[in-house]
Amino acid sequence: MKIEAVTLREIRMPLVHFFETSFGRTTERRILLVTLHTDGPEGWGECVAGEDPFYSEESVDTAWYAVEKHLAPALLGKTIAKGADVPALLGRVRGHRMAKGALENAVWDAEAQEQRVPLWRLLGGTQTEIACGVSIGIQNSVEQLLEKISTELAAGYRRIKVKCKPGWDLKVFERIRARWPEILMSCDANSAYTLGQIEHLKQFDRFNLLMIEQPLWHDDFYFHALLQKQIKTANCLDESIHGRRDACAAIELGACRIINIKVGRVGGFSEAVAVHDVAQQARIPVWCGGMLETGIGRSHNIALSTLPNFTLPGDVSASKRYWKEDIIEPAVEVSPQGLIKVSQEAGRGFQLKTGFIEQLTVRKQTLRAQ
Ligand code: NPQ
Ligand code: MG
């Protein structure tokens, strides 16, 4: 396909409910979408960078800059056979993985349509339904959290993950386990602790957690390895895995027993598949993380989750948990069994509501081949 133009656009979408982590509370998302105009089908990608550089160093504004000034120019006017060829073209730019991922995934999105195959098949997926979990933010009270968990369990979700931080951890787990002793439950600290708090972290072992996600520094494997040796609960790395080599190093060090894969965090589908593959070889299960995506990113997460080593329920859940109205149709729905059935249609398997996307757009810029 020939890349004739790239459109960057920022949309604003209020969340149905605020989402709070150890790094802060979000009530409305600003989301950068990219559209690839080719001589064939149009490809769409979603950049998962946040409004502020709190989850990672990237933000909507740094991603916009990287795409406009460096990444789109590296693709414009080129003929690209497939998504897998994109990383080499963007490799001169260091970092900016979420920005790169949006563009690379848009090429895969177009490629799947062009080849008339489902995107998940193109990625090497084998599972036709995926297991869903939910990530529940820090609430104003424990009662509110219990209420939310009860709603999600009733909806069929197969794993409950609760965000935690000092002051919102042991007491909260105590209350959840008193009511639901058996459910599959994990926690995510988003780097809220230090190794100095190891005695406190050891107490997490009492709650039969499936895993504890990124308890220590966002850029660390070494101290996570020291921690993993001293706790029974499986450690899962999220923030600190930026690609295949990080996964190899973390596994070799014993820093984690589980890996969360987010396609944007590792720079696109090619690297996400590479992380999946090295984890599979090392018998480390993986699951698909979430970044409060709209339907575009959500559909791409569903496609990725069909790869064989995605054996734990992911943070890929129904559109309606986040949005009053999603930008794709149909909206992503989860069955009462907590499963998403994968589409057999060519491409991402969901149509775009282009009129609605236009209405939500607050900023737009089209870059063309010179
Ligand atoms: C995680 N997500 O697994 C992330 C963190 C996260 C669903 O738990 C704006 C942009 C707000 C990115 C909030 C879930 C965000 C964000 C949370 C990422 O660690
Ligand atoms: Mg996480």
Pocket of ligand 1 (CB under 6 A): 19, 21, 26, 50, 55, 135, 188, 190, 238, 289-292, 315
Averaged pLDDT score across all residues of the chain? 98
Give the pLDDT mean for 138-166. Answer: 98
Confidence of residue 356 (pLDDT cuts 50, 70, 90): very high
For residue 89, the model assigns a pLDDT of 98
Cα 214 to averaged position of ligand 2 atoms, centre (Å):
7
Confidence of residue 171 (pLDDT cuts 50, 70, 90): very high
Residue nearest to atom 5 of ligand 1 (CA): 291
Condensed to tens digits (0 to 9), the pLDDT of residues 315-349 reads 999 999 999 999 999 999 999 999 999 999 999 99
Give the pLDDT mean for 78-102. Answer: 98
Cα 215 to averaged position of ligand 2 atoms, centre (Å):
9
For residue 135, the model assigns a pLDDT of 98
Which residue did the predictor score with more confidence, 284 or 370?
A: 284
Condensed to tens digits (0 to 9), the pLDDT of residues 244-268 reads 999 999 999 999 999 999 999 999 9
CA 340/CA 200 separation, integer angstroms: 37
Neighbours of 42 (CB within 10 A): 15
Cα 288 to averaged position of ligand 1 atoms, centre (Å):
12
DSSP reduced 3-state for 149: helix
Residue nearest to atom 7 of ligand 1 (CA): 290
Cα 275 to averaged position of ligand 1 atoms, centre (Å):
20
Candidate of 15, 291, 312, 322 to mutate for ligand 1, largest count of ligand atoms within 8 Å of Cβ: 291
Residue nearest to atom 18 of ligand 1 (CA): 291
Cα 70 to averaged position of ligand 1 atoms, centre (Å):
26
Give the pLDDT mean for 343-361. Answer: 98
pLDDT at 206 over 90: yes
Give the pLDDT mean for 120-148. Answer: 98
Which residues participate in catalysis according to the annotation?
Answer: 163, 262
Residue nearest to atom 6 of ligand 1 (CA): 291
DSSP reduced 3-state for 302: helix
Candidate of 32, 292, 294, 317 to mutate for ligand 1, largest count of ligand atoms within 8 Å of Cβ: 292
pTM exceeds 0.85, yes or no: yes
For residue 213, the model assigns a pLDDT of 98
pLDDT at 370 over 90: no
Q: For residues 301-340, b (16+ Cβ closer than 10 Å) or e, as one string?
A: bbbbbbbebbebbbbbbbbebbbeebbbeeebebeeebbb
Neighbours of 238 (CB within 10 A): 22
Q: Which residues contact 360 (CB under 8 A, 6 or more apart)?
A: 11, 12, 13, 327
Residue nearest to atom 19 of ligand 1 (CA): 190
For residue 203, the model assigns a pLDDT of 98
For residue 227, the model assigns a pLDDT of 98
Element holding 367 (H helix, E strand):
strand 361-368
CA 234/CA 209 separation, integer angstroms: 8
For residue 13, the model assigns a pLDDT of 98
Q: In the 8-state DSSP scheme, what is residue 308?
A: T
Confidence of residue 294 (pLDDT cuts 50, 70, 90): very high
